[in-house]
Amino acid sequence: MAALLPSGGRSGQSGGMDDRRLIAEVEARRADLVALTQDLVRIPTLNPPGRNYRALCDMLAARLAPQFEVELVRAHGAPGDSETYPRWNLIARRQGARDGDCVHFNSHHDVVEVGHGWTRDPFGAEVEGDRLYGRGACDMKGGLAASVIAAEAFLAVCPDFAGSIEISATADEESGGFGGVAYLARQGRFAHVQHVLIPEPLHKDRICLGHRGVWWAEVETQGRIAHGSMPFLGDSAIRHMGALLAEIEERLYPLLATRTTAMPVTPEGARQSTLNINSIHGGEPEPEPGYTGLPAPCVADRCRIVIDRRFLIEEDLDEVKAELRALAERLAEARPGFAFEIRDLFEVRPTLTDRDAPVVRSTAAAIERVLARQAEYVVSPGTYDQKHIDRIGKLKNCIAYGPGLLHLAHQPDEWVGIADMVDSAKVMALVLADLLAPE
């Protein structure tokens, strides 16, 4: 069942809570915030394959246990879950003194591969000046730590709050979130939640309202194998694919460029429909490593591409699919022997939280109070776990808000700014005060 939208907090009024005390409590925890982020970065929760999830959850559980009820949940049977790489998630909950809304901070604890080009130890969590370096520092262990500090500061100032606070650290966001937020949402773990903040690195003065849609598909052209010296006896799937790629180039790309969105997608280049061709494979398979022979002369009877189509809230997923199919069907009529198949791999509809939603209003007001500037509203070009909270959890009152610069995510020498983490923690603490402090 859909969670009911609450009436919302006081959004901007300081109410019964002294903002300055709360901000001072966060400020006093600066060293603790840095240390917690370091502890998180030093556990290499690499995904794939999904390493050390349990170790991170255990560390965080020990940290939160004095003030929260902590539960570890393994996503049994989720994609990627195995005895070697179990998909562990943590949910911590603190019930307040009286009834009220539930505010949930959700962070993913997995990080992507290290890659090349580092000049720092990717899991050393070195601090230099205002920067804390490491894989996952920005995306998004700094945000996870900031939400913990925000909650602890709020509890110190306002132990008799109304409602409840939840903090989750979840698996596999980088590989679709099926062993993480999707699993928890299917279990109904968001049914009682009214407000969700996902501290992804969108920057401390930005509120991310949602994301564009995604359609991944595999497109195959089919031909007939024959001897390469007599290609006229076969039919080349690669040439058919070439024709399809030409159609995409000449007809589809110009069309996509004309479709723009009212969603405030950042960067601006993503404010239109886009299509990436992820891969192309045709003909003989790649030789196995160590094979020293020559290839065999064959006409390719199969060629496949994988496409990544990102679409706008103004577009319809069925029409997005039909548009590509129509291109292929045109070719099937015009081009002798052209045969194709399109297989869906993955799809996510766009999501966009209303600017008037309570968690948005509350966060915008907190940004103004902490940073003395207006919040900027953005939409992410790619998806993140909000999709599961929206589609499976049926909760629309959800945003991404957290410290860090998105362009540093997945890069070598990834870092998060310490002052940014502190500021974001202050904003999150004020959001808690706005939504949960008793009048």
- Minimum CB separation of residue 198 from Zn ion in Å reads 9
C-alpha angle 111/87/396, rounded to 5°?
75
Instruction: Tell me which residue has its CB nearest to Zn ion.
Output: 139
In whole angstroms, the minimum distance from the beta carbon of 173 to Zn ion comes to 6
Q: Cα(375)–Cα(378) distance, rounded to whole angstroms?
A: 10
Site for Zn ion (CB under 5 A): which residue of 140, 237, 263, 352?
Answer: 140
Provide the mask over 99-138, with x wherever binding to Zn ion is found by CB under 5 A and - wherever it is not.
----------------------------------------
> Residue for token digits 């970065």?
41
Q: Does 385 bind Zn ion (CB under 5 A)?
A: no
Q: Catalytic positions, please? A: 110, 173
Cα 122 from Cα 67, distance rounded (Å): 31
Q: Which amino acid is at 349?
A: R
Residue with tokens 């031909």: 223
Other Cβ atoms closer than 10 A to 141: 32
- Minimal distance in Å, beta carbon 200 to Zn ion? 5
Whose CA is closest to 370, among 421, 420, 418, 423? 423
Query: What is the rounded end-to-end Cα distance, in angstroms, of the chain?
Result: 29
Of 144 and 237, the one with the shorter C-beta distance to Zn ion is 144
Alpha carbon 372 to its chain centroid, in Å, reads: 28
Contacting Zn ion within 194-233 (CB under 5 A): 200
Q: Is the peptide bond before 48 cis (omega within 30 degrees of 0)?
A: yes
Q: In the bound complex, what is the minimum distance in angstroms from residue 406's beta carbon to Zn ion?
A: 9
Structure tokens at 141: 């262990």
Residue closer to Zn ion, measured from CB, 48 or 287: 48
Could you tell me the maximum CA-CA distance found in the chain, to the nearest angstrom?
Answer: 85
CA distance 179 to 254: 38
With CB under 5 A as the rule, give the number of residues binding Zn ion: 3
User: Per-residue x/- marks for Zn ion, 157-196, CB under 5 A?
Assistant: ----------------------------------------
Give the nearer residue to Zn ion in terms of CB position, either 140 or 193: 140
Give the shortest CB-7-to-Zn ion separation in angstroms. 31
Query: Between 166 and 200, whose beta carbon lies closer to Zn ion?
Result: 200
Is 145 near Zn ion (CB under 5 A)?
Answer: no
Q: Which is nearer to Zn ion, 141 or 240 (CB)?
A: 141
Identify which of residues 139 and 414 has a Cβ nearer to Zn ion in the complex: 139
Tell me the pairing of strands 376-380 and 415-417. Answer: unpaired
- Give yes or no for residue 139 binding Zn ion (CB under 5 A): yes
Interface ranges with Zn ion (CB under 5 A):
139-140, 200
